[in-house]
Amino acid sequence: MDAPPETEPKKPAARRKGATAEEMSDRQREISVSEFFAKNRHLLGFDNPRKALLTAVKEAVDNALDACEEAAILPDIYVELLQRSETRFKVTVRDNGPGIVRKQIENIFGRLLYGSKFHRLKMSRGQQGIGISAAGMYGLMTTGQPVLVISKTSKKKPAVEVLLKMDTSKNRADVVSETEHPEDDGLFSDGHGTQVSIELEGRYQLGRQSVDEYLDQTAIANPHASFTFVNPNNERIEFKRGTSELPPESKEILPHPKGIELGTLIQMIERTARTQIGGFLQEEFSRVSPSVSKEICQRAGITPRTWVTQIGHKEAEAIYKAIQEVRIMAPPTDCLVPIGTKALLSGLLKELKAEFFTACTRPADVYRGNPFLIEVGLAFGGELPKDELIRVIRFANRVPLLYQQSACASFKAVLETSWKNYGISQSRGSLPDGPVVVMVHMASVWVPFTSESKEAIADYDEIRKEMKLALQEVGRKLGIYLRRRQRMRNEGERRSIFERYIGEIAQATEAITGTSAKKIYESLMRVAQKKTEEADAILDDEGKRVKDADPFGRDDSVVILPVRSARAGEDERKSHQEGGGQSKTLFGDEDGTGEAKRSRKKN
């Protein structure tokens, strides 16, 4: 047996030789944003091949729509997915926008955090300046292939074609090649536009959260745009526009003083070109009039004439405090461009086969000094799936949000609405049941996304409250419609029961009175028909009132009634076009056919 090991006397543990501050200093260096996001691509929506394909399309299409709208051009957008192999695709997106000047091409497509929208408070789809360059970077990382950009800025100038790669260590682009693009290949029939092609690792799969779903929903929220989509099976899917009216231009606004934090205020004071504090307050913020500026200064113990250079930390803090105390008008809201109930309804009608549609746009409100507004559309019944939970489609500045539903303020607002009050069943804590699609749109000069990939709206109290109010409004209209529909059904049933018994009554009467059953039958039938016609006229009138209730005015609802023969048992739906005289204006339909605006054909 071994002797037990001798326990050594306790010695202080030998100190491990660690790095010195100097040695550590050699390893301390700047991280470029593109290196950071290349490692953390999931933050930008490139976490798996299927989502990456969607994100790339989305970033390019969002940019195309933004650019067209800023240039007041009705967007015509072409999206093509070319499958190279099982997991490799070439994504091409082309627009008829203003194009991009040559010297900015490498910045826009080859640098993260470079853009025209970040420093402005203006309603747009992009805001961070990350989108399209991140897609190009992901493509480069996964396939090694550069991004191809073709841009044409006017009829007179030739298109330029630039092939570029991002150098992630510098967050700069390396231009691989640059050529003039042949004039006559007809890429840009309007004489201007941008086309970007990115080769990337992806997966194409239909269904929820697919490129197809994104385009479907984008078409709903952007009825002024037309899209052509060529999918990997080389099928061409057209989304025609529902209206040829461009949405009004969204205006840029200055920050509102109440939405500014102390640190930002100090930085603004340090950087301003104004010399006096009164001018600074009036010129760099919205809603600060000379009298408001004077009041702020007075409370802060300075005057509007005080030199900006004399403002130290103490004074800045006093100004900040004064701003919180002084009454300042809410920020202007004409900077927000709602989709509007008319376009919302036209978008929903165009893409969904339901029987009842309604929409509402709430007045603007403010969170953290940023104006925003909420709109909600609702479609019920018809061919919507009956045994599923209701479907929520979410939008921010007209962009569909397809991921992170449960993290989104809009989803929480739908959950918290008492749908039972409106005739829709709902189990506790879950989405309501039924053939319903609700669409929630938030428009704002700054949408508070929960992450850089812009998938969910952060849960500010003000935002959730507005969403709930909008949902309650469409819910009430749905409730009214459902009750009316039930009344009509009951009435119809009563009449058919009566008609069913006329034969027997006639027989019995003949047996008693000797009058011919045929005669009695015919005369009773005449009475029944007359009554039916009267009732129909009343019901029709009711139906018509729902239908004609100035779909875009007070009521903001549209009902697509089954055709008459449906009462006789045939389940035929009135086509959208027959849904009232307004359908033509509703669809802004050139040919007036009111045909579904989506067509699919094999190339």
Ligand X SMILES: Nc1ncnc2c1ncn2[C@@H]1O[C@H](COP(=O)(O)OP(=O)(O)O)[C@@H](O)[C@H]1O
Q: How far is the CB of 102 from ligand X (least distance, A)?
A: 13
Q: Determine if 145 is a binding residue for ligand X (CB under 6 A).
A: no
Q: Which of 369, 376, 364 is nearest to 446 (CA)?
A: 369
| Residue recorded with tokens 């804590």 | 429
Label residues 518-557 b or e (16+ Cβ within 10 Å = b): eebbeebeeeeeeebeeebeebeeebeebbebebbeebbb
Q: What does 293 interact with, of Mg ion, ligand X, none (CB < 5 to 8 A by kind)?
A: none
Q: Determine if 95 is a binding residue for ligand X (CB under 6 A).
A: yes
Helix (H) or strand (E) run with residue 167 in it:
strand 159-167
Question: In Å, how far from its chain's centre is CA 492?
Answer: 41
Looking only at the bridges linking them, the beta strands covering 557-559 and 399-401 are: unpaired
Q: What does 400 interact with, of Mg ion, ligand X, none (CB < 5 to 8 A by kind)?
A: none
Q: Which residues bind Mg ion (CB under 5 A)?
A: 63, 126, 131
Q: Determine if 194 is a binding residue for ligand X (CB under 6 A).
A: yes
Residue among 64 and 378 whose Cβ is closer to ligand X = 64
Residue among 126 and 580 whose Cβ is closer to Mg ion = 126
The site that binds ligand X (CB under 6 A) totals a number of residues, namely 21
Q: Determine if 75 is a binding residue for ligand X (CB under 6 A).
A: no
According to the 3-state scheme, what is the secondary structure of 548-586?
A: HCCCCCCCCEEECCECHHHCCCCCCECCHHHCCCCHHHH
Q: What does 133 interact with, of ligand X, Mg ion, none (CB < 5 to 8 A by kind)?
A: ligand X
Q: In a 3-state reduction of DSSP, which class is residue 264?
A: helix
The DSSP secondary-structure symbol of 420 reads: G
> CB of 227 within 8 A of CB of 215?
yes
From the list 115, 331, 371, 475, which residue makes contact with ligand X (rule: CB under 6 A)?
A: 115
Q: How far is the CB of 108 from ligand X (least distance, A)?
A: 4
Q: What is the DSSP string of 172-184?
A: EEEEEEEEEEPGG
Q: What does 95 interact with, of Mg ion, ligand X, none (CB < 5 to 8 A by kind)?
A: ligand X
Q: Determine if 129 is a binding residue for ligand X (CB under 6 A).
A: yes
Q: Determine if 133 is a binding residue for ligand X (CB under 6 A).
A: yes
Would you mind telling me the total number of residues written for the chain in this entry? 603
Q: Using CB under 6 A, which of the segments 16-24, 130-138, 218-226, 581-589 binds ligand X?
A: 130-138
According to the 3-state scheme, what is the secondary structure of 204-243?
A: CCCCCCCHHHHHHHHHHHCCCCEEEEECCCCEEEEECCCC
- Tokens at 196, concatenated: 């970007």
- Tokens at 589, concatenated: 């339909």
Q: What does 255 interact with, of ligand X, Mg ion, none (CB < 5 to 8 A by kind)?
A: none
From the list 97, 247, 259, 338, which residue makes contact with ligand X (rule: CB under 6 A)?
A: 97
Q: How far is the CB of 176 from ligand X (least distance, A)?
A: 19
Give the orientation angle of helix 211-221 with respect to helix 49-70, to 10 degrees: 20
Q: Determine if 136 is a binding residue for ligand X (CB under 6 A).
A: no
Give one word for 277, left, alpha or beta, with left for phi > 0 and alpha for psi -120 to 50: alpha
Measured from each CB, the residue nearest to Mg ion is 126
- Give the integer Cα–Cα distance in Å for 87 and 83: 8
Q: How far is the CB of 196 from Mg ion (least distance, A)?
A: 11
Q: Determine if 76 is a binding residue for ligand X (CB under 6 A).
A: no
Q: How far is the CB of 575 from ligand X (least distance, A)?
A: 37
Residue among 328 and 399 whose Cβ is closer to ligand X = 399
Q: Determine if 127 is a binding residue for ligand X (CB under 6 A).
A: yes
Give me the torsion for CA of 98, 104, 108, 112, rounded to 10°. Answer: -150
Residue among 34 and 63 whose Cβ is closer to ligand X = 63
Q: Using CB under 6 A, which of the segments 57-65, 408-416, 423-431, 456-464 binds ligand X?
A: 57-65
Q: Which of 373, 395, 362 is nearest to 473 (CA)?
A: 362
Q: How far is the CB of 61 from Mg ion (least distance, A)?
A: 9
Q: Where in 477-496 is the site for ligand X (CB under 6 A)?
A: none
Q: Using CB under 6 A, which of the segments 63-71, 217-225, 501-509, 573-581 binds ligand X?
A: 63-71
From the list 132, 140, 200, 474, which residue makes contact with ligand X (rule: CB under 6 A)?
A: 132
Contact residues for ligand X (CB under 6 A)? 59, 63-64, 67, 95, 97-98, 100, 108, 115-117, 126-133, 194
